[in-house]
Every structure is written in structure tokens, then in C-alpha cells.
Structure 1
Amino acid sequence: MNIQDIETFINHKIPFTDVTIGNVLLAAAVIIIGYFVAVIVSKYIQKVMLKAKMAKILAEFTSKVVKILIIIFALSLGISLLGVDVGSAVLGFSVVSGFILGFAFQETLGNLAAGFMIAITKPFRDGDYVDIGGKAGTINSVGASITTLTTVDNKRIIIPNNKIWGEPIINYTALDKRMIDMRIGISYKDNMDKAIKVTLDVI
């Protein structure tokens, strides 16, 4: 196969279209390269944000948004190389897919939005002991869509972020001091003043 044969193959039009095989190969290359660029850039952004001591959940959220935007750009560019009017195609696709994705990923999008709000407000951090809607434990990790905590009896609990955002959150670690209500019983024959002094000394 010589160069002329290759050029003929690349310029060959797909039946019933004005799109050449070369256009298809180029569009596929753009989309594939765009995907790998999106992965590399999103990981780099997350690494930089974590190195800057920004919230892990915010770094994950930002990197995912950047990844999606780059992939969408690569897809749009690839489609345009096939001679498709990207503006009209995107508009039509957005209307149809918007309804489908809205229902299919309602929970996922809600979790991501709630995760973003948690990253901004910071009601807790890794290592905090919290009570979220009756589930108490130590925070292990705060992700873009889920938060995991470990209970005192060593059970792992995974909670979707949208469930957390709609529940009361009690953070026992947030403040240095808190009041503890304890009842200590003594005999009627014991010395009350001495019992109080011993208790205060222990505290």
C-alpha cells in the first residue's frame, strides 16, 4: 500500500454521507485524546487543590466538573469534524437528555450538590465524632457524593451527602469543651462534702 492508496482510503466517503473515513478517524482521535486530557487535567487539579490544603470534597467536586467540561468540549469538536451542526445537535440533545438524565441521576446530582455545600460550610472534618440523623461515629472520609463514618463498635456507615444535608448534625469534636451530665450515687452515711471534693479532684 503506497501513499496514494492511503490518501484514497482516507478521502473515501461513507455511503449516503459527505463524511470521509479521514473525518471519522480524526473525530475519534480527538474524542479519545480529549478523554485522556480530561483525566490527566482533573487529577492534576485535584492534586494541586489538596496540596494547597483545600477541602478534599471541594477538590473532588472541582476536578469532576473540569473533567466533564473537557469531555463535552472534545465530543463537540469531534462531532463538528463529522460535519454536524454542533449548535443544533447540542440543543436537541440537551433537551432530550436533560429530561432523561434529570430523572436518572437526580440522586447523584443531589449528592454532588450537597457535597459541595458541605465543602463550603464545613460542618465536620475527617476525624470528628458526629451524630448525623441518629447515626453516630467518627468521620473517615468526606467524598463528593458520600460520607463514611465508623461507629464505636467498629461498624462502617456510608451516608449519601444529600441525606446528611437534610439532617441535624451534632459535632462533638468541634468545640474544646462541652457539658457532661453524670449522676453519682453515694450512701446516706457518707460525707457529702468529701464526696463532692473527691469527684471534683477526679474531674
Structure 2
Amino acid sequence: MDPQELMSGDNLSSLIERGIDAGTSLALAALILIVGMMVAGGVRKAVRNAAVKSDRIDDTLGGFFASLAYYGIMAIVVIAVLNRFGVETTSLVAALGAATLAIGLALQGTLSNLAAGVMIILFRPYKLGDFVEVAGQAGSVKDITLFTTELATGDNKKVIVPNGSAWGDVITNYSANDTRRVDFTFSIDYSDDIDKAMQIIQDTMGADERVFKDPAVFTAVMAHGGSSVDIVTRVWCNSGDYWGVHFDAMKNVKEAFDKGGISIPYPHQVNMTREG
């Protein structure tokens, strides 16, 4: 056989083998990609369904976790596909890791808010409609996202609080419990009848249907002030009635004191003149 013909046959055989290898790699890569996409889609759906069934996981957080799982699996699938084509994935993974670290450092504040948002949505220290005080700001919660919490103040100003600041500070939720205690301090003159004043306070508070009978209205002398005897009063009511009970009690007790002859003293000065 002619050497050129033999060489030509070897080349043809080599080309056929390379073609078969390339076709096999392509088929395996396509199979990995298809199976990976199916698995990623299935995991995303499972995570989302689990979030919907859970009372502790918000829909926003469920969607975030589902997307995170999906893209994480797809990243692994892409690396596996590239590996089938002989691409050096070790250096690629290292480069991706370095890029992720650089992005993480650059977005440190944003990622901190994101992590805090996940914690807020997961553990729910407050929810929509609650009146709270977070990061030194007080208002009703209007919206909670992964990055910020939106409050509406009493005079209807819109306040945006970064979740990192909210989660990293003391959170006071005035709406968390169904009931609240309302505290008062009423001052009377030293010449007034203390027992009579306390009875007037008891009767006035007891006449308000919003004030609980149990626990009972509490009254006691708290202090002897510079110009008054101070009587502390504590009552319990539903959280939604707190300010109504407070404002009405301040008016009603004053009027009852007037009718009962109990005076509310106020600071005054006496000027002394020296004769001669």
C-alpha cells in the first residue's frame, strides 16, 4: 500500500475519532445542561412551595431563597459543562471567587442590609401595620423589603430605614402585644384629701369601658414633690385603645377633681420685700 494512502487513512481515522469524541463531549455537555436546568428548576419550585406553606417565611424571602438556590445550581452546571469541553475550570473558579470577594467588599453596606432584611423577614420583630421605634425613628410599618423598612410617622412623613440599622439597633414594637398598661401621674395640693383624690381617680378610670377591670385600676402615692403630692395611676387596656384612654383620662380626671374640690397645684413664687 502506498505510504501516502496509509497516511491518508490514518488521518481519516484520527479525524473520525476526534469527531466521535467531540460529539460525545457535546452530547454529554447538552445532557448535563438539560438535567442541571431541570434540577435547578425543580429545586427552585420546591423552595418556593416550602416558603408558601411556612407561616414564618415571607413570599419575598421565599422568592429570594428560591432564586439563590436556582442560580447556585446553574453556576455548578455551567462549570461542569465547560469542564467537558476541556476548559480549565480551576482557574475560572478561583477568578469567580476573587471577583465575588471584591464585589462583596465593595457592596459591604448593601449586603449588610440584605442580610438584615432576611433576618427581619424571617424572625419578624415587626410586621406591616405595627407601630414601632427602630433606629431612633418611630412610625407605622408600611413596607418591608430585603434592603429597607418604610415607616409612616404620626404626621404622615415617609421614613426609609436601612435594614442594617434597624436590625443592629434596639427595636420597640408597641403593637406586638394585644394589651398595654397606661401610666399616669396626677398631682394634688398638700392641703387636699389624699384618699378622696385617689377615690376620684379610681371612679373616673373605672367609668371608662375601655379600661380593664382585671387587672384593677392601681393608685398609690408616688412622691412628695416641691409643691404637690404625686399620685401614680396604672390601668390596662387594649393596645388599640392606648392613646384614647390616655387623652380622655387626662381630661376626665381634671374635671372630676374640679367637681370634688381637689386642686392641681402649680409652681409659684412669693416675692419677699424687706422694709427699712
Matched, 1:79 2:74: no
- The answer to whether 1:90 aligns with 2:93 is yes
TM-score normalised according to structure 2 size: 0.51
1:143 aligns to 2:145 (yes or no): yes
Change (3 A) 1:181 1:59: same
Alignment: residue pair count = 179
Structure with greater strand percent: 2
TM-fit CA distance, 1:130 = 0.8
Cα distance in 2, alignment partners of residues 126 and 40 from structure 1: 31
Gaps of 5+ in 1: 1-10, 12-18
What residue is the counterpart of 1:8 in the other structure?
none
Are 1:194 and 2:208 counterparts?
Answer: no
The one-letter code sitting in structure 2 at the alignment partner of 1:79 is: L
Larger radius of gyration: 2
Match of 1:126 in 2: 128
Cα contact 2:152–2:159 (8 A) shared by 1: yes
Residues 75-125 of structure 1: per-residue CA shift (max 9 Å, x gap): 324533553122331123313x13421222212221222223334433222
With normalisation by structure 1, the TM-score equals: 0.65
Conserved 8 A contact 1:61-1:116: no
Larger relative contact order (CA 8 Å, sep ≥ 6): 1
**1: CA distance, partners of 2:57 / 2:170:** 21
Deviates more, 1:67-76 or 1:126-135: 67-76
For 1:167, give the aligned amino acid.
Answer: D
Is the 1:60–1:144 Cα contact (8 Å) retained in structure 2? Answer: no
Give the fraction of aligned pairs with identical amino acids, expressed as a percent.
30
Are 1:126 and 1:142, in contact at CA under 8 Å, matched by a contact in 2?
yes
Which residue is 2:56 aligned to? 54
* In structure 1, distance between residues paired with 2:162 and 2:85: 41
Q: Distance in 1 between matches of 2:61 and 2:110?
A: 16
171-180 or 160-169, which deviates more: 171-180
Offset of residue 170 of structure 1: 0.1
Which residues of structure 2 form unaligned runs of 5+? 1-17, 212-276
Q: Residues of 2 paired with 1:92 and 1:105: CA distance?
A: 18
Q: How does 1:132-171 map to 2 (within 5 A)?
A: 132-171=134-173
